[in-house]
């Protein structure tokens, strides 16, 4: 009788699973979030004395990665639509240098610099989007060219590293938001409230907007449809070319915003700036549950992908290894883990 009950309950589980399975997207998202929490908890438990128990540490994670969050959101959108954009690092470097030069020498203020940044991002997005969607060129090749173009233009403008020398901009960039009620006590027992950069607010807003865009709008769902099966999407009456085009334009625009946040954070520009940023963004998207093959992913996951990468970096540094390769190797392991997970999901789907 007991044995029978057991088999019954086992069947019950499978039935329940069959009725309401966790969708691929939310399954991967759950994994990412739990991983972030687990790593953070472990860091607090074992490395608490190295600053991980401080609330400011948590906010620093955002302060350092605001630009990456925005750029990774753009990549997530492009990847969901089944495409890729590896030009964002180059675009970021171009924006930083171009804006710095304009701020220093051409009398630009904060707003005109912002417009310039958005224009650069949009221009890249529109040109690349046009080539990918309407000329049906390989997105990887097109954006590879975009990447070279970005870096090349930086060198054309200015070969050396340059600092922003614009008082108003520097003042704005240096200001912080005081987070109410949260903060840490220093060694003397004085309460120091936590500080947040303005860029973080923008980044979080962007994440929310992207989330709503992907979840609640016709365009957002079209990205998923095109990435899931472009042929079907066409048959179902979706304008596939336009959708692909808009995905790239959006990614370009977000690269513009992200690039400006990068400048806002670093206040400098150079040829070598933001090298490999596009790869960081792709990695964050994948860790966040976006499928490189398209159709699956969301920006909440991407946000946690960026944070997870960030915390791993901090933990590895805190453990005491100053060697630059350990964070890389850890990230490689994380990527592997997620790619294996994704391929398991894909193969399950084929059955």
Partner 1 sequence: MTYMQDTVLKMNGICKSFPGVRALQNVDFTLCEGEIHALMGENGAGKSTLIKVLTGVYTKDAGEIYLKGNNKPVHIKSPEEAQKLGISTVYQEINLCPNLTVAENLFIGRSNNLFVNWKEMNKKAEQVLTGLGIQAKPTKQLSACSIAVQQMVAIARAVDMDCKVLILDEPTSSLDDQEVAKLFKLMRELKSRGVGIIFVTHFLDQVYEVCDKITVLRGGELVGEYQVKDLPKVELVAKMLGKELGDLASIHNEAQSADDKKKEAVIEAEGLQSVSGIKPFNFTAYKGEVTGFAGLLGSGRSECVRAIFGADRVIKGRLKIKGEPVHVSSPIKAMKKGVGYLSEDRKRDGIIGDLSVRENIILALQVMKGFFRPFSKAQAQAFADEYIKLLDIKTASADTPVNALSGGNQQKVILARWLLTHPDYLILDEPTRGIDIGTKVEIQKLVLKLASEGMSITFISSEIEEMLRTCSRLIVMRDLNVVGELKGEDMTQDKIMYTIAGGVSQNEQKQ
267 phi-psi bin (left φ>0, alpha ψ -120 to 50, beta other): left
Is residue 281 part of the contact set for partner 1 (CB under 8 A)? no
Is residue 200 part of the contact set for partner 1 (CB under 8 A)? no
Is residue 290 part of the contact set for partner 1 (CB under 8 A)? no
Q: Which residue has the tokens 């040829």?
A: 271
Size of the site for partner 1 (CB under 8 A): 31
Report, in Å, the least distance between residue 69 CB and partner 1: 24
Map 160-211 to HEC letters. Answer: CCEECCCHHHHHHHHCEEEEEEEEEECCCCCEEEEEEEHHHHHHHHHHHHHH
Report, in Å, the least distance between residue 84 CB and partner 1: 17
User: Nearer to partner 1 by C-beta: 199 or 297?
Assistant: 297
156's CB contacts (< 8 A; 6+ apart) are none
Is residue 229 part of the contact set for partner 1 (CB under 8 A)? yes
213-250 in b/e form (b: 16+ CB < 10 A) is bbeeeebbebbbbbbbebeebeeeebebbebbbbbbbb
The count of other CB atoms within 10 Å of the CB of residue 14 is: 9
Please select the residue that binds partner 1; options are 127, 203, 296, 303, rule is CB under 8 A: 296
Residues 101 to 160 in contact with partner 1, rule: CB under 8 A: none
- Burial-class residue 275 by CB neighbours within 10 Å (0-12, 13-18, 19+): middle
User: Nearer to partner 1 by C-beta: 238 or 249?
Assistant: 238
Comparing C-alpha atoms, which of 217, 236, 214, 241 is closest to residue 295? 214
User: Nearer to partner 1 by C-beta: 3 or 349?
Assistant: 349
Distances, alpha carbon 281 to alpha carbons 73, 74, 92, 303, in Å: 8, 9, 12, 10
Please select the residue that binds partner 1; options are 238, 247, 253, 316, rule is CB under 8 A: 238
Report, in Å, the least distance between residue 171 CB and partner 1: 39
Please select the residue that binds partner 1; options are 50, 176, 195, 221, rule is CB under 8 A: 221
User: Nearer to partner 1 by C-beta: 65 or 342?
Assistant: 342
Taking contact as CB under 8 A, which single stretch among the options 66-74, 84-92, 178-186, 219-227 is the one that binds partner 1? 219-227
Report, in Å, the least distance between residue 339 CB and partner 1: 18
CA–CA gap between residue 60 and residue 106 (Å, rounded): 33
CA dihedral sign, ordered 234, 239, 241, 243: negative
Q: Which two tokens stand for residue 68?
A: 């990456």
Taking contact as CB under 8 A, which single stretch among the options 93-101, 128-136, 186-194, 232-240 is the one that binds partner 1? 232-240
Comparing C-alpha atoms, which of 149, 159, 158 is closest to residue 123? 149
Report, in Å, the least distance between residue 343 CB and partner 1: 15
Angle between helices 88-105 and 110-129 (to 10 degrees): 150
Taking contact as CB under 8 A, which single stretch among the options 50-58, 191-199, 210-218, 309-317 is the one that binds partner 1? 210-218
Taking contact as CB under 8 A, which single stretch among the options 229-237, 250-258, 272-280, 329-337 is the one that binds partner 1? 229-237
Residues 17 to 56 in contact with partner 1, rule: CB under 8 A: 19-21, 23-25
Q: What are the residues binding partner 1 (CB under 8 A)?
A: 19-21, 23-25, 215-222, 224-225, 227-229, 231-239, 295-296, 349
């Amino acid at each position: 009788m007991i044995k029978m009950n057991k088999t019954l309950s086992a069947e019950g589980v499978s039935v329940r699973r069959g009725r309401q399975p966790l969708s691929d997207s939310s399954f991967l998202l759950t994994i990412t979030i739990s991983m972030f929490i687990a790593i953070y908890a472990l860091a607090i438990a074992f490395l608490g004395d190295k600053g991980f128990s401080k609330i400011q540490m948590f906010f620093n994670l955002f302060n350092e990665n605001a630009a990456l969050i925005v750029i990774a959101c753009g990549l997530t959108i492009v990847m969901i639509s089944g495409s890729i954009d590896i030009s964002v690092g180059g675009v970021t470097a171009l924006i930083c240098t171009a804006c710095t030069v304009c701020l220093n020498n051409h009398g630009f203020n904060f707003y005109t610099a912002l417009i310039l940044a958005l224009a650069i991002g949009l221009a890249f997005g529109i040109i690349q989007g046009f080539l990918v969607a309407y000329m049906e060129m390989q997105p990887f090749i097109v954006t590879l060219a975009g990447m070279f173009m970005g870096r090349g233009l930086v060198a054309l403008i200015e070969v050396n590293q340059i600092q922003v020398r614009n008082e108003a901009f520097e003042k704005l960039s240096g200001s912080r938001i005081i987070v109410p009620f949260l903060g840490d006590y220093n060694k003397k027992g004085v309460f120091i409230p936590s500080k947040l950069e303005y860029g973080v607010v923008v980044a979080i807003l962007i994440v929310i907007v992207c989330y709503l865009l992907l979840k609640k709008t016709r365009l957002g769902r079209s990205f998923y449809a095109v990435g899931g099966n472009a042929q079907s999407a066409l048959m179902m009456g979706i304008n596939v070319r336009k959708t692909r085009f808009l995905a790239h334009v959006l990614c370009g625009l977000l690269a513009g915003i992200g690039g400006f946040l990068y400048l806002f954070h670093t206040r400098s520009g150079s040829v070598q700036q933001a090298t490999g940023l596009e790869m960081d963004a792709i990695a964050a998207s994948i860790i966040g549950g976006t499928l490189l093959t398209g159709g699956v992913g969301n920006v909440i996951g991407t946000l946690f992908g960026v944070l997870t990468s960030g915390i791993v970096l901090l933990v590895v540094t805190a453990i005491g290894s100053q060697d630059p390769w350990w964070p890389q190797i850890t990230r490689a392991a994380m990527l592997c883990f997620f790619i294996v997970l994704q391929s398991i999901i894909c193969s399950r789907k084929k059955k």
